[in-house]
Structure 1
Amino acid sequence: MGFLNLTKKGVALALSAQLVLATQAVTLAEAQMVGTDAAISKYTAMANRSVLMDELQRSEVREQIIELGVDPAEAEQRLAALSDEEISTILTQMENDSAGADIVGTLFTVFIILLVTDLLCFTRIFNFTRCIR
């Protein structure tokens, strides 16, 4: 009977120690509030990376990279190594340097030129203008 009590106590002690150690490992994790800005910037950075990777996968871009003597796999590795700020800078530069991106500005400039030529009696395009004479 004494040996059985000693075995039960030993098993109970081992299980108690295991339970205490398991709960200690769980309480080491700390939860913190994540701000909206941090969450948005994280997902924006991920979206920016995927946009650049998608552009790199296009056949025209791949052909141009190979034509310039760059291995596409190396270009993907270098793109993956860029920081979030560098990727956002590249995307901003791509948006600003797009050909024909400022259509509204171009149309406004053409409208002003035609309006001035109508006012100076060189053309007669707009009905709401009168010649300056």
Structure 2
Amino acid sequence: MGFLNLSKKGIAIALSAQMVLATQAVTMAQAEMLGTDAAISKYTALANRNALMDEMQRDEVRAEIEALGVDPAEAEARLAALSDAEIATMLTQMENDSAGADIVGTLFTIFVILLVTDLLCFTRFFNFTRCVR
């Protein structure tokens, strides 16, 4: 009888110690300083990913994807699998390659061409110019 009580106490103490150690490891927090750059890059990457996913939800984009023979669900899965750097590159490329985005530059170029042709007496578009002859 004494041995049975001794073994029950030993098992209870061992299980209690194991329970205390297991809960201690779980409840210990791992804290570290988070720099501003790391926090901003994390949220920027998340915003970029959400912006591309929002573009994928547009009807025109979905129609074009389906017209090319790509399943929209597969395209979204592949988009979700991209790294943050790849998504940032895609967004930069989308901003730089959009059609008609640089209207001010286009109008300035046309103005300069017309001005030069007026100065060289090829056209007479502006009244404030004189021919260089």
Does TM-score exceed 0.5, indicating one fold? yes
Q: Take 1:90 and 1:76, find their aligned partners in 2: how far apart are those partners? A: 14
Which residue of 1 is the match for residue 88 of structure 2?
88
Which residue of structure 2 lines up, in the alignment, with residue 68 of structure 1?
68
Partner residue in 1 for 2:132:
132
Matched, 1:46 2:46: yes
Q: CA RMSD in A?
A: 2.4
- Gaps (5+ residues) in structure 2? 1-16
Which 5+ residue runs of structure 1 have no aligned equivalent?
1-16
TM normalised by structure 1 equals: 0.75
Deviates more, 1:63-72 or 1:78-87: 63-72
Query: Closer, same or farther in 2 for the Cα pair 1:86/1:126, shift >3 Å?
Result: farther
Quick one: which amino acid aligns to residue 124 of structure 2? T
Aligned to 1:101: 101
Q: 1:24 to 1:89 in 2, by over 3 A?
A: closer
Partners of 2:119 and 2:57 in 1: CA distance? 52
> % of aligned pairs identical?
73
Could you tell me how far apart the structure 2 residues matched to 1:35 and 1:126 are?
A: 60
When the two structures are superposed, what TM-score results if normalisation uses the length of structure 2? 0.75
SS in 1 for 2:70: coil
State the Cα deviation string for residues 51-75 of structure 1 (Å, max 9, x = none).
Answer: 1111100111111111222111111
State the AA in 2 paired with 1:29.
A
Which residue identity is paired with 1:123? R
Tell me if the contact between 1:115 and 1:126 (Cα under 8 Å) persists in the aligned partners: no
CA distance in 2, matches of 1:90, 1:71: 20
Displacement over 3 Å in runs of 4+: 20-26
Alignment: residue pair count: 117
